[in-house]
Amino acid sequence: MLRWVRQQLGFDPPHQSDTRTIYIANRFPQHGHYVPQKFADNRIISSKYTVWNFVPKNLFEQFRRIANFYFLIIFLVQLMIDTPTSPITSGLPLFFVITVTAIKQGYEDWLRHKADNEVNGAPVYVVRSGGLVKTRSKNIRVGDIVRVAKDETFPVDLVLLSSDRVDGSCHVTTASLDGETNLKTHIAVPETAVLQSVANLDKLVAVIECQQPEADLYRFVGRITVSHQTEEIVRPLGPESLLLRGARLKNTKEIFGVAVYTGMETKMALNYKSKSQKRSAVEKSMNSFLIIYLIILLFEAILSTILKYAWQAEEKWDEPWYNEKTEHERNSSKILRFISDFLAFLVLYNFIIPISLYVTVEMQKFLGSFFIGWDLDLYHEETNQRAQVNTSDLNEELGQVEYVFTDKTGTLTENEMQFRECSINGIKYQEVNGKLTPEGFSEDSPDGNRHSLMKEEELFLKAVCLCHTVQINTDQTDGADGPWHANGIATPLEYYASSPDEKALVEAASRVGVVFTGTSGDTMEVKSLGKPERYKLLHVLEFDPNRRRMSVIVESPSGEKLLFTKGAESSILPRSKSGEIDKTRVHVDEFALKGLRTLCVAYRRFTPEEYQEIGKRLHEARTALQQREERLADVFNFIERDLELLGATGVEDKLQEKVQETIEALRLAGIKVWVLTGDKHETAVSVSLSCGHFHRTMNILELVQHKSDSTCAEQLRQLAKRIKEDHVIQHGLVVDGTSLSLALREHEKLFMEVCKNCSAVLCCRMAPLQKAKVVRLLKTSPEKPITLAIGDGANDVSMIQEAHVGIGIMGKEGRQAVRNSDYAIARFKFLSKLLFVHGHFYYIRIATLVQYFFYKNVCFITPQFLYQFFCLFSQQTLYDSVYLTLYNICFTSLPVLIYSLFEQHVHPHVLQSKPVLYRDISKNAHLGFKPFLYWTILGFFHAFVFFYGSYLLMGEDTSLLGNGQMFGNWTFGTLVFTVMVITVTMKMALETHFWTWINHFVTWGSIVFYFIFSLFYGGIIWPFLHTQDMYFVFVQLLSSGSAWFAIILIVVACLFLDVVKKVLYRHLQPTSTEKAQLTEASSGINCLDSMCCFSDGETACTSLRRMLERLMGTCSLTRVNRCGISLNSLCCRRISYKLEPDEPAAIDV
């Protein structure tokens, strides 16, 4: 009983076996000891919340944030003790932030619920009680027989039982799972393939034993036991028998399959990988600033508490005649009073921590991410693909990248393969006008115009046509004899292949006379110069990345058993015992030097005895439920030996458009590019040279083919010495996978030293996990550089997830890279705009947003601190509670949000054409200690001017009205608050370079809204307010001319020094970005990019007039320049600045 309770509570989960047993059509045994297994239902759940757990779960997640939790504590303190401000002042902003975030997250989750309901409610047909029953997808159970028709998606993971074809085969496309658009063939076991009707399937008695669910899309281990009359037949089940949920049935009328994995246990659901949370450098800086401001807050609270008791040490201030203590207050503990006062001051100053910062940053990231998808420059018209954002949390990180790690195939290249050359029996051949011509022969030469193939050539081409996974569009060949119509005219077949290399080779073979015409059951048909030949397919030894080869065993028309193998030269040549091995190796190296992708082809003949032993071993390995992969690997190695080498192929993968220009731009921006590829050394170096990754003048260093630690270490020391001696020359490093493993094992520090001194690094023969290790190595080095990984295939996923920013290319190797990336683009060339324009803008925007938020809160709360020196630290508040509450929510929130969405301090064209501007923002330059110190000191300076300026102007003589009526403390506080709202809003206006009508509306609208709100709030007696200290205060303040004079004078005094500082820095120490801001209007920069700049001969009023003209759409682009403000006259001088493609920037004043 106790064990059962523990299991229900999840403390002691029930034992789960390594395999599951599935009774087809849920025909459980009627006798014997049978314990039914529990399986998941077929509901897909991608949502995060339910109706019942939304509130507690969402609140828990939100209060994990330091700022939210801090304000919750402050709110609770206000409720528990007597504090100077109302609990509403902390509770309302906190409620607003929590509510906005909860609504956003709730809406996103509602969309996921909606999508889930559509999927789970989709109609399906299931075989039950001798007939087809229509039901909903969520009602499918493990063991049900499901019917799927052509072009429908599979609702569960099914083991194929039968199809409308006699051989029980069907074609599917897994584009929605891995992006591969090729047709894949799946085959049913012979015993169930003949059961093509519902009635026959209803009589089927069979049991499937298979592994428990796992995420690997390409792995499935199981076996089916079919009870046929009195005997039981056991057949192996592999990936070729499994139809995955989300895949689509093609070129097949209908299929029947049995559900083996349902709902969240399907392979598609298990691949819903929850990626580890990546945090940007800006977010880390923000948290550091938050801690510093918490320290400032604690310091102010402690200092105020100490000064209060120091002041009250004098008896006349401890208990003044107008504020006598109660008996309870006199007898209370001094320690408790000290703690209570400390908490009260903490509450009074708590607004120095900007609670709305997080929600504003979230809104900025979420809304700002849409600009990437909307950017037409990142739209690829040919494939109709636009850039997509999977993670908006890292927008600003695009502006901080220091290292780019890129895949080669499909990322730098098109992944469109074209057959170029081959080597057969030691002779190089090229394709010339559809004929295979030996090198050195032309079409006009005696041997160049041959119509027949030599025996070796024909065998080589047959091996290419038989050893592959290529499929043919069956709709095309129906009713015709292969590719040959009755009139003898050939029509090209349409091939589908998971590998572009295979497709290119089969198409090339068909052009030179050996045509693969398709499969029929277990028969492969080939036409050699029009003569049909049928080969019986006996076994397929599937490709895997460890073996780096694939093989087929076929029976030739003469009855001979043949093995055809193709793969990387490193896996074929060592296993070959005959053939022109040395000549072929030379040819392979020559192909690689030309940048071609190479494959070697070999074969082997089996005696009947050998084949019988091989068949027995394969059957034992394939029907094993435990360690099947290891057993199969051993058998494959046993089979693929003593090969006779036939030759090699060279296939070209052309470079993508503007790859060279993009890599050069990245280099100019100070970004180092590393190419990580699985290709062989020579191929990778050739492509690196052609794409500009390596320059011809660069000194290429090599760390390759090392087998021991000692030789690897010695080579590394020599390379480090060579780099120091030739420090003037640029170096490029080439390292292969095996040498890299040795270098990372014992000599990591030395290896990193060599790499960092190289301008470009190329890693070849890399396994996927090695790619991730290299990224992690750089990421965790002492400098902690920001890394970006970009790739298009499943082998790049680990690297993409490891880097700070992962970018997927929407290529031909599937969508796994795109699904697991933070951003996805269609072409490598789009990377330059993504980093130099979007990354630059996002970083500048959010850096200013964060600094400005802290600045305006220092401005807000410091006068409150200063005011305590004038009220005996009695915790009297300077501002009204409503102003405390609305300052961050309403009065100052919109200008900075709009700035953070639309600001363009430099024109996008200039940013993209001048990659060197990217260096100005690198290494978190705008959120370092100096900018943070500047904004903090500026905030304290402005706060002192607000407070003491107001105090000097009206502190001694408060009779500022004509009738002699006196002003009180609420009027003084309102004057300080009014000056503050105007100043911080104008400060945001000074920071804005790119003005739109929205910027104007929210900037001036915020000031107008403050005045209108204050007039209404203080001009009417509101019945629902407990007290109304502000009644008629604002109206009286505005009726005083002296108050208006004070407001204008203090605002100008605050902003004047800031403007002077900007002008001095722009003239004396301009950055590259500030120089670029002075680009002529002819460069395409819009007029009035800064409100403080105007042209020759114009006054400041003319600038204001031009601003209004632009709002009405009448602004002229011909006479506008950017300029600084003269210190003497506050008029701008014309500063011309010319950006030439190859010249350094210069200013002519």
Report the greatest alpha carbon distance in the chain: 125
Alpha helices in 312-369 (DSSP H): 315-318, 327-331, 334-349, 356-368
Whether 605 contacts 641, CB under 8 Å? no
Within 13 Å and on the Cβ side, how many CA atoms surround 763? 25
Distance between CA atoms of residues 114 and 1132, nearest Å: 58
Residue 69 to residue 801: CA distance in whole angstroms: 30
For residue 381, the one-letter residue type is E
For residue 917, give both structure tokens.
Answer: 């501007």
Place of tokens 């082998």: 795
Contact 900, 845 (CB under 8 A): yes
Residue 1035 CA to residue 1030 CA, distance in Å, equals 10
CA distance 915 to 1045: 48
Do residues 442 and 478 make contact, with C-beta atoms less than 8 angstroms apart? Answer: no
Whether residue 814 contacts residue 179, with contact meaning beta carbons closer than 8 Å, is answered with: yes
Q: How far apart are CA 313 and CA 627, in angstroms?
A: 83
Which region, left, alpha or beta, applies to residue 464 given φ > 0 means left and ψ of -120 to 50 means alpha? alpha
Q: Is the CB of residue 127 less than 8 Å from the CB of residue 145? A: yes
Instruction: Please name the amino acid found at residue 177.
Output: L
809: helix, strand or coil: strand
Indicate the residue type of 675. V
Nearest to 605 by CA among 637, 576, 564, 577: 564
Among 407, 653, 736, 880, the active-site one is 407
809 backbone φψ class: left, alpha, beta (φ>0; ψ -120 to 50): beta
Identity of the amino acid at 286: M
Give yes or no: 407 in active site. Answer: yes
Q: Which residues pair with 237 in a beta bridge?
A: 222
Rounded-to-integer distance, Cα 256 and Cα 44, Å: 22
d(CA 1058, CA 988): 12
Cα–Cα distance measured from residue 254 to residue 585, given in angstroms and rounded to the nearest whole number: 48
Chain center to CA of 836: 17
C-alpha–C-alpha distance, residues 312 and 314, integer Å: 5
Rounded to whole angstroms, the Cα distance separating 403 from 676 reads 12
DSSP conformation class of 918: G
Distance separating alpha carbons of residues 610 and 621, to the nearest angstrom: 17
The distance of Cα 54 from the centroid of its chain, to the nearest Å, equals 27
Contact 1002, 895 (CB under 8 A): yes
Residue 978, φ and ψ in degrees, nearest 5: -65, -45
Contact assessment for residue 102 and residue 359, using Cβ atoms and an 8 Å cutoff: no
Phi, psi of 279 (to 5 degrees): -115, 135
How far, in Å, CA of 382 to CA of 832, rounded? 20
Q: Which two tokens stand for residue 1096?
A: 């020759």
**Rounded distance between C-alpha atoms, residue 41 and residue 144, angstroms:** 12
Residue with tokens 């919340």: 49
Q: What is the dihedral of CA 282, 288, 289, 290, to 10 degrees?
A: 110
Give the active site residues.
407
